Amino acid sequence: MQVLVLTAPKNGVGRTTLVHRLARQALQNDAGPVVLLDADPRGDLTQICTEQPRQDIIAVPWDESCSGPKFQQLKARPGGLIIVDAALPDQPNTLQQVLLIADLVAVVVRPREDDVAQLSATVDAIEAADKPFFFLVNRAKRHGNMAAATAIALAQYGAVCPIVLPEDEPVAPSLRARVFRKKKKNEADLKRDQFWAYLSGRLEALGGEAAPAERAESLDGQRERRKFPRHSYDIGATFTWDRRVFPCRIQNISAGGLAMTADIAVPLGTRLKLQIPYLGEFDAISVHRDAMSAGLRFVIDEWQQAALVRDLTGLIAAGPAAKKAGGSNKSRQAREARGEESEGDRGGRRRATEDKAKGASARKRARS
């Protein structure tokens, strides 16, 4: 069984509710059995499981035995998931014990400045335990813009889940029965499904074995911790090297660099210029190479990097359709700034001129 730990820099971020929802979602996706460990001294998870009992979800209060031999036997069982509602950094001993058994840690944060400001103690504890982790922005307001700003700030600490979970919207009593009968998934449900897909991928990548945080091979052969999360970004691009333009295919990308495939081998240490659709042009240096791909590190300043984090967060959270629309709008804006027209723009202008001429001819015939 794999162990997922949910922690947070402070209370009130929706961590315990999320633990219970993840347990139900795991069972719906045949990822059970599920065992819940309540390591929060307040015992909110135990109370929720008591008020909403289910035979297929077992909730156990945390104690010293949870990291002992019996627990290791439980963890050694194939399949299933153990989800821990962890203590906060103000309970360092308990948090340290919980992190020792973790395979993956999710740090739940609201899109608020004070939540981000209190992250240091949580991140320090996770890094001291050398566990892989990511941030999850939870309870984002539907029409707010703080979620993107929070993701940018979180990316300075580590990987950020591209799925932002929205704040639960209250349903009027008169509509509850109707909503229940339709059983139609709203935006929040769809976001939770997307988050489950992301989480399942992270757990599957670990293969049931605790692994260190994501790392990258640097140019000089030393290993360094990645500062930014990588995202799948399968798209064609080009790069300019020695005044020649070559096609390439991007495999994944982060605000620090990317992996790509190309017909030409790029030597280590080579400086080149990348042209990436929807994102722009970037200077980069080759830092990794194998038979199948090349790894590039962006050579950009902190302002360009912050803008890239923002753009990547928006593209990945919005999905492929929005990326396509966003790229189309961005290209159109660029053309307008240069005073250029696309084929569609010229065709539309031509049709408008023809319609105007036909209307003038019809009015002339009517007068005669």
pLDDT tens for each residue of 194-251: 898 888 888 887 764 333 333 334 444 444 445 667 777 788 899 998 888 889 999 8
What is the tens place of the pLDDT at every residue in 63-101? Answer: 766 767 777 777 888 888 999 998 777 888 888 889 989
Strand 81-85 to 215-217 pairing: unpaired
Q: What is the pLDDT of residue 365?
A: 67
d(CA 204, CA 194): 15
Extended strands (E) in 187-300: 215-217, 223-225, 231-241, 244-253, 257-262, 271-276, 280-289, 294-298
d(CA 151, CA 137): 7
Q: What average pLDDT does the chain have? A: 76
* pTM of the complete model: 0.57
How far out from the chain centre does Cα 364 lie?
62
